[in-house]
Structure 1
Amino acid sequence: MAKIKDRITLGIISSLIATVPATIMDLFANKTGLSDYYYNHASTLFIKRSKSNTLRGKIVSALVNNITNCTTGVATSYVLSATGRDKPILKGIGVYALSWLSLNGLLYKEVLDTKARRAHTPIFSFFIHTVAGSICGYCVSKMGDDSLFPDSKINSKTKLPLVGSNSCNKATADIPSLDVKTN
């Protein structure tokens, strides 16, 4: 299998893979009463709440959910590119936990004015995000080309820079040293 050499494409594909089990878990949680969050609430960013359960509302919600997941997947790809492929599951969980915090803390509560009726709803939502994060982190580490990661076994001349080309070296070359002598 050919490895993916583009961080954005890698993040999008990895997050879409991770979204499948997360969506299944969310549907199960809603059907069994474990959760009272519905992704249809996300559509109320763009349409009236009364229209969120219509077919169009569900399509808008799916778009919002998948765009959020893809953005989080790209962030996971960049985190692993910057820090290496070691502990990809933990790093993926960390990025997705931050996403969960911003979704539950800001989007649902402040913007959409939607609060969980049950105390365990946010906990189950966090669990779903950790599952998705672990899958996404794993996929990024396995599907990404070696040139994307700062592993010690690979020649640094073949590495793809995170941003630009030698931009850090050029930017810091003209900055004078700030050596401070202590007695």
Structure 2
Amino acid sequence: MRKFTDRITLGALCGLLAGVPPKMFNALEYHKGLTDERYSQTASSVLLPRTAAMSHSTGSKIIAALVNNTVVGVSGVIIAYLLSLSGRDRAVMKGAFFGAVEWIFIWGLAGRLGLKVMSRKPLTHILSFIDHVMFGAGTAALVSRLGDDSLFPDTGTLAPGEKLPLASNSPQRLWLRRKRPGERLKGSA
């Protein structure tokens, strides 16, 4: 199977795919009465007044889809770059952690910055946390599975105590490192 070599395309696609199950779970949670907020309502409230966002009009649904899909796509790109820097070992755990941080930002900090996240049920936030962790883990699993090996450092071949560098000479994939005494690095005179 041919794999993705572009991190932006890979991350955006994986984010969009991994965003489907949490949206479905959120819709189910809403219809069962476990939560009083749908992600579409929260997403559309970013750009619309609260009353318009809570309506089920076609315009608010389109805005909600645009905002939500943009957020999951950008989150997928961030996860792709994080895994490119840190390696794809324990990718699901790294993605789950990213999802938890994203949950804190969206439900915690965004509320302090003026986004109206007004749920009357504590279970809403708990279920949202689970959905965000599921999204992050799913996105990271897809990125590590669908991304080409050249995108990720091979962390399995590191010597004990050796750390991954933060930069590389990408055409040759030569990782920048310090020159050891008496050693000549490739390309040096």
TM-score range, shorter chain: 0.7 to 0.9
Q: State the match for 1:116 in structure 2.
A: 119
CA shift for structure 1 position 162: 6.4
Q: With structure 2 as the length reference, what TM-score do the two structures score?
A: 0.78
Count of residues in Structure 1 that have an aligned counterpart in Structure 2: 165
Provide closer, same or farther for how the CA distance between residues 49 and 79 of structure 1 changes in structure 2, counting only shifts above 3 A.
same
What is the CA distance between 1:34 and its match in structure 2?
1.5
Deviation at 1:163, TM superposition (A): 7.7
Percentage of identical aligned residues: 36
Equivalent position amino acid for 1:8 in 2? I
1:91 deviates by 0.7
* 1:5 aligned partner: 5
Residue number among 59, 68, 71 corresponding to 1:68 in the alignment: 71
Question: If the length of structure 1 is used for normalisation, what is the TM-score?
Answer: 0.80
Unpaired segments ≥5 residues, structure 2 = 158-165, 179-189
Counterparts of residues 96-175 of structure 1 (less than 5 Å): 96-108=99-111, 110-152=113-155, 165=170
* Rounded Cα–Cα distance in structure 1 between residues aligned with 2:136 and 2:42: 22
Determine if the alignment matches structure 1 residue 21 to structure 2 residue 28: no
Residue in structure 1 matching 2:89, options 86, 90, 114: 86
Amino acid at match of 1:4: F
Structure with the higher fraction of residues in helix conformation: 1
Gaps of 5+ in 1: 155-160, 173-183
Name the Cα RMSD after superposition: 2.5
Report the equivalent of 1:48.
Answer: 49
Deviates more, 1:115-124 or 1:46-55: 46-55
